[in-house]
A = this chain, B = another copy of it.
Amino acid sequence: MKTFSATFLPENKTVSAVKGKSLLEAAAVAGIRINSICAGDGVCGKCRVLVKSGKVTAKPNMFLTRREIQRGMALACQTYVAGDVIVEVPLESRTGGAPSLAPEDAVRYGREAERIDEEARLLRRPLSRKVYLALPPPALDDALCDQERLFRELRRDQDIPVMQMGLSTLKLLPGILRKSDWKVTVLLGRRGDTVEVVDIQAGDTTGRNFGLAVDLGTTTLVAHLVDLCSGKTVSTQAKYNSQAPFGEDVISRIMCAADPKRREELRELVVADINDLLGALLIDTGARAHDVTYVMCAGNTVMTHLLLGLDPSNIRRDPYIPSVSEPPVIRAAEVGLGISPRGLLAVLPCVASYMGGDVVSDVFVSGLAASEDISLLIDMGTNGEVVLGNCEWQVCCSASAGPSFEGGGITCGMRATNGAIERIDLGPGGDVQQCEVVGGGKPLGLCGSGLIDLVGELLRVGCIDRKGRFVHDVCGTRLRKDETGALEFVLFASDDTVLGREITLSEADINNLIHSKGSIYMACECLLNHVDMSFADLARVYVAGGFGSYLEVPKAIRIGLLPDIDHDRFLFIGNASLQGARMALLSEDALTFIREKIGGSMTYLDLSTSHQYMNEYSSCLFLPHTDLEKFPSIAAENAPTRPGPS
């Protein structure tokens, strides 16, 4: 069989490939991970590559235009080596790379949350803490057994009602006590309502104790290595979730995990991701894996199930029941995490199938549940979550917003990584006047905040009407028909983009965004109606989510994603999920607050059974809304388009 060389750019990595091997397979051999949600069936269109030179054969597909194919664009899974080839793999088609990291100070806290965070750092009662003990050696008149001697000293200064010690630690205890001349460091770990003597070390090792706080996102994993002695985050790393090829959203992950073998595969992938993050953090800081003693994860209910190897099937079956809301604290090694072999793994509690530990964490960090003022919290993502309440009560619901906030389902959509347009201003006729690109340089595509900006601007300059349809007269030559005859708006010509591919927006793209923003807004209205309140009654509206800190309030209000209230009342709290995990790791009190005042007390409202939701949802499918009275500041503008039918 003939063998050719396949070279991948920009890495310039060459591997040999037998004739007929797909570019996707050859890339895998080269260690280059290409996005492929359909696992090579040619139906997701996510594995676009650019064949720079060489001979290939290809199956026909619906994802590429004739022009694109002529320029060398190809689906890696449907294109086969037929000679020596050179292929460029664009950023947008890659998976498993490192997403760009929002700086830690991008997370902003509510007033109460700042206090809690301060307390967490000051209290120094981390979930895993080391205590140095110089034990009085036993004598005939003080002949307590080794374990009780240890417990007696541990309890001298603190009240630990239920203390446990496993057999394997117990087996090592007598030897360590005597070899170290009764001077030992005890590692205490919180396990639910009990405290475990997790490990015993000779001498004083109290100076070395780290915890890992992980935001277990469906798309992105972010981890802090936290010094549990000083309370400081010593390093941060992020990574795309390697489960992505099994489905971009939680629903497709659930479907995939119905097969126990696949479920195990998914578990191994996310564990490997966390281990990768850990490895990078250890290299970065010089810390040792053995000194990392606790992992605290905040994730949605599905990711939490997948991490622990629990079957998430019933989460998507009526009446949507998770296996567990507050999973047990386990030995991290039990799932394969490479921290200290005795170290523990905990996850923040969930509230319901579509209300996970990530949102509970958001609520904690925002301070919503610590104040008497009633506020609203919106976590925008593929699965949007909304929480309303204060320190006495919270009611929450979720809304399936779809992937458009993360650039999914959008012709030129992409994640908020290098090349993504995150802000844009348009002039008359839709000409680009200003454009901010993540990482600078030419644009590659549109991330969520860029898309919201763009649609808001198109509406403002009159290129689209309130139903999201293009207005021919205004768009002019920027509007054209694609191969199927559908209209598309050309934002950037091919010469102005990174890959030489036009950046366009279709009516279908706009429609996707309208459905996303509509479901979020409607969820907020439903919660407020449920308690007979309105947006005007809110002290604060907290906005969480990876793209939160890039979002511009006026433009989000313009399309009807956020309510039309005083801009000062909005607070973007950024990736609060991770910060909540960090604070829980640092403070037993924080975790107790999260468990008892949030996780255990929040009421979940199922919108799928709410008639109001179904009836009024369509009212939100306008820009910003059918009822312009809800958006007085927009109505006051001299809107150039006519309102659609109400």
Of B170, B192, B319, B353, the contact of A164 (CB 8 Å cutoff):
B192
A318 interfacial contact with B, CB 8 Å = yes
A24 interfacial contact with B, CB 8 Å = no
Mark out the residues of chain A between 26 and 49 whose CB falls within 8 Å of any chain B CB in the assembled complex.
none
- A146 surroundings in chain B (CB, below 8 A): 314, 321-324
A621 to B309 Cα, complex, angstroms = 68
Known: A162-B162, A193-B162. A323 touches B174 (CB 8 A): yes
Of B148, B311, B314, the contact of A325 (CB 8 Å cutoff):
B148
Number of interface residues of A (CB under 8 A): 51
Of B310, B314, B330, B606, the contact of A140 (CB 8 Å cutoff):
B606
A353 to B143 Cα, complex, angstroms = 9
Mark out the residues of chain A between 142 and 187 whose CB falls within 8 Å of any chain B CB in the assembled complex.
143-149, 161-162, 164-167, 170-171, 173-175, 178
A238 interfacial contact with B, CB 8 Å = no
- A323 surroundings in chain B (CB, below 8 A): 145-147, 170-171, 173-174
* Interchain CB contact under 8 A, A334 and B193: no
Digit string of A106-148 for contact with B (CB within 8 Å is 1, else 0)?
0000000000000000000000000000000011100111111
- A178 surroundings in chain B (CB, below 8 A): 314
Q: Tell me the minimal C-beta distance from A313 to chain B in angstroms.
A: 7
A56 to B162 Cα, complex, angstroms = 64
* Interchain CB contact under 8 A, B174 and A140: no
- A350 surroundings in chain B (CB, below 8 A): 145
* Interchain CB contact under 8 A, A319 and B173: no
Mark out the residues of chain A between 299 and 324 whose CB falls within 8 Å of any chain B CB in the assembled complex.
308-311, 313-314, 318-324
By Cβ-Cβ distance, the 5 closest A-B pairs, closest first, are A147-B324, A145-B322, A145-B325, A140-B319, A138-B321
Could you list 4 further interchain pairs (A-B, Cβ under 8 angstroms) beyond the known A140-B606, A145-B352? A145-B322, A173-B324, A174-B310, A193-B194
- Which residues of A come within 8 Å of B, CB atoms? 138-140, 143-149, 161-162, 164-167, 170-171, 173-175, 178, 192-194, 308-311, 313-314, 318-328, 330, 334, 350, 352-353, 604, 606, 608-609
